[in-house]
Amino acid sequence: MGCFEDCSNENVPDETYNFLILQKEQKDGLEVYKPKSIINYVTQIRCPLCKCCLSSEEKTIIQDIFNKGNENILIYHIKKYNQEVDNDDKINDIGELECLYNEIKNMAEILESNRFYKHTCTRNEICKRTSNQDIYIDLCLNSPKNRVENEIKVDFNKLKNDESYRNNYLNLKKVAYEKKLMRKKRKQIEDKYIDEFEEETFKLERNQYELAKRNITIEYQNYLRFENAKDPYFPRFEFDASVEWSREKGNLIYSGSKKKIANIY
């Protein structure tokens, strides 16, 4: 369902509407309808009984709920938390994780307290129901609590209260940090000696380079002959330097030789 659904006439049902699905479990003795995917726009929600658009008043109420918190915001906070877990710029980031986790916890609580919207279908003549017209619309695709438990990479409560769990996490962060330092130092060394290395290795496969260069040159000359030919029946010929480079680079090993091949045309 899109964000630009036509609701110019609220009393016209959309018989194809199937975004909200009836659940087996009830709430307070009432039917519960859950969305097929995360709700991005209020206009994705119609009454699942009569399949008409919600009233302007109801859409305003639900929009106010979404403004306080929605699943996309919770997912965003979880993503930030997991990115910090994977961050290898520092060893001890438990303070940062606590701030991020508090944002997740607060958003999950907001969602949980507002996720079930009680709706009453008043279009009896359309939905053909004279009873059971009160239903709940679940504004969340997944339980906020379950999403937090299943999607965060590190359990912050255990990180805070379980010394063994915390030490294991910090050790992993230390290893990741040290590996990053090693990669950085290795790159600095490579950058310092790369030109000398490429020149020396180029000498080892000059013959392969010359052969590749000749092959590409022949293809390019064939292309020029086609371009300059006035005979309309001259065989069609296309030349793509990147294609020729990809074809010939397989015969070369070292980066210096491949760079020289790439700069022929």
Is 155 a member of any domain?
Answer: yes
Looking at the fold, whether 150 and 210 belong to one and the same domain comes out as no
Contact assessment for residue 47 and residue 123, using Cβ atoms and an 8 Å cutoff:
yes
Residue-wise pLDDT tens digits, 95-116? 999 999 999 999 999 999 999 9
Exposure class string for 234-252: b at 16+ Cβ within 10 A, else e: eeeeebeeeebbeebeeeb
Looking at the fold, whether 134 and 220 belong to one and the same domain comes out as no
pLDDT at 236: 59
Residue-wise pLDDT tens digits, 130-140? 677 899 999 99
Looking at the fold, whether 137 and 240 belong to one and the same domain comes out as no
Q: To 10 degrees, what angle do helices 163-204 and 255-262 make?
A: 60
pLDDT at 75: 96
- How many domains are contained in the chain? 2
State the chain's maximal CA–CA distance in angstroms.
Answer: 89
Looking at the fold, whether 212 and 104 belong to one and the same domain comes out as no
H-run or E-run covering 245:
helix 241-249
d(CA 11, CA 124): 11
Looking at the fold, whether 41 and 148 belong to one and the same domain comes out as yes
Looking at the fold, whether 26 and 157 belong to one and the same domain comes out as yes
Is 166 a member of any domain?
Answer: no
Average of per-residue pLDDT values in the chain: 87
Single-letter amino acid, residue 157: N
Looking at the fold, whether 84 and 26 belong to one and the same domain comes out as yes
Is 192 a member of any domain?
Answer: no
Looking at the fold, whether 247 and 121 belong to one and the same domain comes out as no
Contact assessment for residue 74 and residue 37, using Cβ atoms and an 8 Å cutoff:
no
Contact assessment for residue 39 and residue 143, using Cβ atoms and an 8 Å cutoff:
no
d(CA 207, CA 253): 12
Looking at the fold, whether 116 and 217 belong to one and the same domain comes out as no
pLDDT at 9: 63
State which residues form the domain around 90.
Answer: 20-161
Is 238 a member of any domain?
Answer: yes
Q: Which of 109, 136, 161 is the last residue in one of the domains?
A: 161
pLDDT at 244: 76
Three-class secondary structure of residue 186 per DSSP: helix
Q: Which of 161, 176, 195 is the last residue in one of the domains?
A: 161
Is 104 a member of any domain?
Answer: yes
Is 32 a member of any domain?
Answer: yes
Looking at the fold, whether 35 and 136 belong to one and the same domain comes out as yes
Mean pLDDT, consecutive 10-residue stretches, the chain (265 aa), reads 52 90 95 96 94 93 94 96 94 94 96 95 79 90 94 95 96 94 88 84 87 84 72 63 76 82 74
d(CA 45, CA 62): 10
Looking at the fold, whether 79 and 144 belong to one and the same domain comes out as yes
pLDDT at 265: 61
Query: Residue 115 gets which letter from DSSP?
Result: S
Contact assessment for residue 19 and residue 36, using Cβ atoms and an 8 Å cutoff:
yes
Tokens of 98: 């606590």
Contact assessment for residue 250 and residue 197, using Cβ atoms and an 8 Å cutoff:
no
pLDDT at 255: 84
Token pair 């009393």: residue:
11
Looking at the fold, whether 116 and 232 belong to one and the same domain comes out as no
Cα 209 to Cα 88, 203, 255, distances in angstroms: 40, 10, 11
d(CA 242, CA 18): 49
d(CA 200, CA 197): 5
DSSP calls for 12-58: ---TT--SEEE-SS-BTTBEEEEESS----GGG-B-TTT-PBPPHHH
pLDDT at 3: 43
Q: Can you give the pTM of this predicted structure?
A: 0.72
Is 237 a member of any domain?
Answer: yes
pLDDT at 214: 87
d(CA 136, CA 30): 7
Is 105 a member of any domain?
Answer: yes
pLDDT at 230: 60
Q: Which of 105, 140, 161 is the last residue in one of the domains?
A: 161
